[in-house]
A = this chain, B = another copy of it.
Amino acid sequence: MLTYSFENRGQQSLYEYLYRQIKNDILSGALKSGEKLPSKRALAKNLNVSTITVENSYNQLMAEGYLYSVPKSGFYVSDITSLKPLETLRPERRQKKEIATSDYYADFANNSTLADTFPFATWSKLNRMTMSDYAKELMMRSPSGGILPLRETIADYLYQFRGMLVEPEQIIVGAGTEYLYGIIIQLLGRDKVYAVEDPGYQKITRIYEANNVICVHVPMDKNGVNMNALTATEADILHISPSHHFPTGIITPVSRRYELLSWASQDEQRYIIEDDYDSEFRLTGKPIPSLQSIDSAGKVIYMNTFSKSLSSTIRISYMVLPKALADRYSQELNFYACTVSNFDQYTLYQFIEKGYMEKHINRMRNYYRVQRDNLLNCIRSQKHFNKVKIKEENAGLHFLLEIDTPYSDEELIKRIAKQGIHISCLSQYFHDKKRAKEHTLIINYSGIQPERIENAVTGLFHGVFEG
């Protein structure tokens, strides 16, 4: 009969201690494969513990595969030849690494936002209100496309700021536009040909490629995607940013917009994905109507994100599906859980509904206008200002700086980096490198600390012309 002393069990429960003793005997070979164990009652009596204690230990050993039971016979030791105990050592407590910060004095290549501009106090307050006012709703599963109040509020917001008439049911909320691109591919199909702008935001190409769909590049002319080039492709789906193209800054005029809609209407398979990512930050004049708002054939999927207007680290984006596609989504993809937590959804809902979003965007628009004007003034006051040309400074959060220089773009980037300044060039965004326009810097200014603008511009010019 098995006998164990319980003297050294320390803090362990009787059951746990017994379980470990038997397990050790199995692992050491003291108990052999196929050997029969005493009945629960017999062992309990022998060890002077309750039957329940033995039962729990046996159950645990069975669950872990060390024992098996044979009905009406008893408990037997399993064949554990392949089984070894976990030999884990508590890992050395890793040194918490410092969060990586940019080593640059100023980063014009980065389009993130500054911490100071985020409305922490309001967001935090609404967060607290959400927790107290929506305790029950927060624990209820969100519909796949997002909670209804948020989608209704976004619909109102789109009407107010973009003149768009959409139903909440057409809106799908997701954790970032990148996630939503993946959903669009699932919705429209992997057998389609997707066209993107050249030059353009390369991440979009990478996402299509990671999803194994065919992705073609269509050259831009001064009004946006070139129509002849587009029709020459086999494209079914066209992915564009007509309100403000990154990085060229091109705003597609209304006439071209109608040409694009006309292209889309020529085939049932065709759709346009309209990425309206920074339309809130058109700094001069009124925004141009979105493609979605002048589309009468249900051919436009409109996308936008709060990552741009609030903070790049808040992952809330949305798309507006044409009604037929919204129906298809609800039939085929509705099983997906919404990727944005209810906490964020309800907080954002209140942020928009209570008017904070409008205020925030107005504040940010002014902030960015001042930021841009300071930058432009600093540029204009440079000794070598006559060798540069500022372009597309009226929209979005970046502009272009054409430079009269003998250096290649690669050399320019290095020379400017030596001044502690990170810069990107237009040429880097071309897929067709033969067409790439050289000597054009992209000045993203959303993440530049205001007090560093002057030094940053001086450093940039020094790097280009004197470094």
Contacts and interface: CB of A to CB of B under 8 A. Distances in A.
Interface in A144-190: 147-149, 152, 155-156, 159, 163-165, 168, 175-176, 178-179, 182, 186, 190
A339 B315 contact: yes
Given A83-B255, A253-B63, A256-B65, A332 B210 contact: yes
Interface in A86-100: 86, 88, 90-91, 93-94, 96-97, 99
12 contacts: A63-B253, A64-B253, A82-B255, A94-B155, A115-B138, A118-B139, A128-B128, A140-B313, A178-B337, A313-B341, A313-B342, A315-B337
B64 A288 contact: yes
A140 B289 CA distance: 32
A51 interface: no
Nearest to A186: B210
A207 B66 CA distance: 36
A62 to B, nearest CB: 7
A129 to B, nearest CB: 10
B62 A253 contact: yes
B139 A175 contact: no
A288 B63 contact: yes
A389 interface: no
A438 interface: no
A308 to B, nearest CB: 12
A461 to B, nearest CB: 28
A458 interface: no
Given A19-B285, A82-B262, A186-B210, 8 more contacts: A56-B285, A59-B394, A64-B288, A118-B139, A179-B179, A210-B332, A314-B343, A315-B337
A interface residue count range (under 10 / 10 to 19 / 20 to 34 / 35 or more): 35 or more
A115 B136 contact: yes
Given A86-B163, A254-B83, A149 B96 contact: yes
A333 interface: yes
Contacts of A210: 186, 332-333
Contacts of A336: 178, 207
Given A112-B139, A159-B90, A313-B138, A152 B96 contact: yes
A251 B94 contact: no
A60 B285 contact: yes
Interface stretch (A2-10, A119-127, A419-427): A119-127
A347 to B, nearest CB: 9
A56 B339 contact: no
Nearest to A258: B82
Contacts of A258: 82-83
B315 A340 contact: yes
Contact of A341 (B56, B149, B257, B314): B314
A141 interface: yes
B123 A131 contact: yes
A179 B175 contact: yes
A452 interface: no
Contacts of A124: 127-128, 131
Contacts of A262: 82
A404 interface: no
A338 B139 CA distance: 23
A435 interface: no
